[in-house]
């Protein structure tokens, strides 16, 4: 949830920093719905940082993992 909080505070750089420090295996251990929200949050951070390609990749990952979102 730290990434989401950073985004709500308008700190996409901080959100991306937290994402870089987060272990992919930790994210992978979360329920699919939580993984989907994680990837959607990271997508928002990349978009706000001006990187549309990375944002799209994260959104595609979210959709693949949790299509119900």
pLDDT tens for the 69 residues of the chain, in order: 899 999 999 999 999 999 999 999 999 999 999 999 999 999 999 999 999 999 999 999 999 999 998
Contact 49, 16 (CB under 8 A): yes
Name the residue among 66, 56, 46, 59 with its Cα closest to residue 6: 46
pTM of the model as a whole: 0.94
User: Any idea how long the chain is?
Assistant: 69
For the chain, how many structural domains are there in total?
Answer: 1
| CA–CA separation, 44 and 18 (whole Å) | 14
Q: Which domain holds residue 59?
A: 2-65
State the DSSP code for 9. T
From the CB of residue 66, how many other CB atoms can be counted at a distance below 10 Å? 18
């Amino acid at each position: 949830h730290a990434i989401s909080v950073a985004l709500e505070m308008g700190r996409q750089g901080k959100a991306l920093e937290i994402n870089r420090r987060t272990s992919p295996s930790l994210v992978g251990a979360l329920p699919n719905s939580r993984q989907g929200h994680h990837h959607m949050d990271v997508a928002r951070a990349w978009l706000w940082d001006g990187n549309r390609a990375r944002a799209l990749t994260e959104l595609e990952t979210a959709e693949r993992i949790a299509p119900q979102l």
